Amino acid sequence: MNIKQILSKEDQLIQQNELLKTNNQKEIKNIYGWVRTVRSSSNILAFCVINDGSNVSGIQIVLNDENMEENQIEYFLKNIQIGTFLNCSGYIIESPAEGQKYEMLLKSYEIVGTVDEKYPFSKGRINLDTLRNFYHLRGRTNTFGSVFRIRSALMKYTSDFFHNKDFLHLDPNIITINECEGSGEVFKLSDKDLNTIYKQFHKEKDETMTYKWNEDHFKRATYLTVSSQLQLEALTCCLGNCYTMNKSFRAEHSNTRKHLSEFTHLEIEMINNNFTDLMHIGEEYIKYVIEQLLKYNKDDLENLDKFTSKGLLEKINNIKSKSFITIEYKDVINEINQDIKENGNELELEPLIYGDDLGSKHEDYITKKYDNGVFVTKWPMELKSFYMKQDASNDTCYSFDLLMPYGIGELIGGSQREEDYDKLNNMMDRKGMNKENLKFYTDLRKYGTCMHGGFGLGFERLCMLLTGMQNIRDVVPFPVYYESCNF
């Protein structure tokens, strides 16, 4: 059992009034973990905290001359350093001191893994920027232990939420022939080495020459997917509501605190729904996972709130307590421009015209103004993708971006999908889409079309929101981003 399980078991004994007594408590063997701290009060009394990653606090180990020989304590203090991996055996008791509920009276121990003198975490606290140099070790810190336990819990709560609503969890292919969004920010795949590709491109002085994809692994150009949406729609139009937690990939040359080249993408598709249903389930999902975190992961939230993300609990309770608001795109543009006009340069925002996308500063402004999640709806078709359901009366589409406060910005992008075959084909022409590669997609409108819609949520941004971390690289175990892939 890990430390969390052992301490939970002791809690159960306490609740059953089976109070723990050192003189009759059975010895527990093989409590293991990495040393976080070690200190001594005298040559016959010492304290050590070990943690195996299962909870925030680990467990305090007490060495005294009642349970160990004096020379064993002396050897421990000379040889145990921060980072050492120990197996410990002893007695679990209720702690008489503040700071922990239980502690272990050490009877024996085994040094499993020693520590090189260059171990980077041996001295004091280290700032987040420095910790990004140690992605492979930073999970041992209290901050990243909490962040990654919360990330893991969010994965579970996501599964619980959608399975309780009878969604199927199905993961489509991530190697694809389609760019989906049509943005061109895709990674191309090849089984050839770079020298072979280079030689083919340069063996002739022909500026129109293109790479011979028919000689490559798939006999055609393929990409790492930017979204599983199109294939997920096909599954949904056969099986009913579906979701995926696939990886997606973006070849954006962007090095901001909110962008990655590889990220986890929660995408859902629903049938026989309406536009409001999509926004409702998105809001319901966010509030559900917050409720679960507050119920089952309070220790980790409190740890972050106290040391790294001050005010975190207040913020997520604020999100949970309010109904998100809905504003049409055109009204957001007018509202921001009016506020700029009334406040002069104080807002430090550029005015917008209809057809402009919202920048990060505009997103942050509108969510800060309302101190709430904001659904921005009815976007101009020109700004959105070919598959979104059209409103021909004003050339907008039934789409939304959910903007979240505290520096997160866009968390969810969703829309009703255009189910009309002719309208979809006309928009594909307008957007310059490759119809041959998308025949499977247009077939969905020919063979039993139905109302359907869906959304995509950047899971790492949700992790940022619910841990208070300000850089997306700090919620991913091994982040891959522009100009950086080191593992």
* In the chain, where the domains are located: 3-124, 142-170+237-474
Report whether pLDDT(92) > 90.
Answer: yes
> What is the average pLDDT across 313-323?
98
How many residues belong to the chain? 487
Decide: 376 and 397 in contact? Cβ < 8 Å: no
pLDDT at residue number 21: 47
What kind of fold does domain 3-124 have according to CATH?
OB fold (Dihydrolipoamide Acetyltransferase, E2P) (2.40.50)
Query: What's the mean per-residue pLDDT of the chain?
Result: 93
Greater confidence, 346 or 475? 475
Q: What is the rounded distance in angstroms from the CA atom of residue 405 to the CA atom of residue 459?
A: 16
> What is the average pLDDT across 336-344?
93
Burial class (CB in 10 A: 0-12, 13-18, 19+), 259: middle
Decide: 146 and 54 in contact? Cβ < 8 Å: no
pLDDT at residue number 23: 45
pLDDT at residue number 5: 92
pLDDT at residue number 202: 63
Q: What is the rounded distance in angstroms from the CA atom of residue 462 to the CA atom of residue 266?
A: 10
3-state secondary structure the chain: CCHHHHHHHHHHHHHCCCCCCCCCCCCEEEEEEEEEEEEEEECCEEEEEEECCCCCCCEEEEEECCCCCHHHHHHHHHHCCCCCEEEEEEEEEECCCCCCCEEEEEEEEEEEECCCCCCCCCCCCCCHHHHCCCCCCHHHCHHHHHHHHHHHHHHHHHHHHHHHCCCEECCCCCEECCCCCCCCCCEEECCCCHHHHHHHHHCCCCCCCCCCHHHCCCCCCEEECCCCHHHHHHHHHHHCCEEECCEEECCCCCCCCCCCCEEEEEEEEEECCCHHHHHHHHHHHHHHHHHHHHHHCHHHHHHHHHHCCCCHHHHHHHHHHCCCEEEEHHHHHHHHHHHHHHHHHHHCCCCCCCCCCCCHHHHHHHHHHHCCCEEEECCEHHHCCCCECEECCCCEECEEEEEECCCCEEEEEEEEECCCHHHHHHHHHHHCCCCCCCHHHHHHHHCCCCCEEEEEEEHHHHHHHHHCCCCHHHCCCCCCECCECCC
Q: What is the rounded distance in angstroms from the CA atom of residue 139 to the CA atom of residue 152?
A: 13
pLDDT at residue number 404: 98
Query: pTM for the complete prediction?
Result: 0.94
Measure Cα distances from 120 to 18, 58, 117, 304 in Å.
43, 20, 9, 22
Report whether pLDDT(272) > 70.
Answer: yes
Decide: 82 and 122 in contact? Cβ < 8 Å: yes
In single-letter form, the type of residue at position 395 comes to D
Decide: 362 and 337 in contact? Cβ < 8 Å: no
Decide: 68 and 106 in contact? Cβ < 8 Å: yes
Q: Which residue is associated with the tokens 């971006």?
A: 401
Q: What is the rounded distance in angstroms from the CA atom of residue 129 to the CA atom of residue 142?
A: 16
pLDDT at residue number 124: 78
> What is the average pLDDT across 217-226?
93
pLDDT at residue number 344: 79
| pLDDT single digits (tens) 165-221 | 999 999 999 999 987 766 668 999 999 887 777 776 665 555 556 778 888 999 998
Domain spanning 142-170+237-474: which superfamily? Bira Bifunctional Protein; Domain 2 (3.30.930.10)
> What is the average pLDDT across 244-252?
96
Q: What is the rounded distance in angstroms from the CA atom of residue 376 to the CA atom of residue 110?
A: 59
Report whether pLDDT(88) > 90.
Answer: yes
> What is the average pLDDT across 358-379?
97
| pLDDT single digits (tens) 9-55 | 888 877 776 554 444 566 888 899 999 999 998 989 999 999 999 99
Report whether pLDDT(449) > 80.
Answer: yes
pLDDT at residue number 194: 75
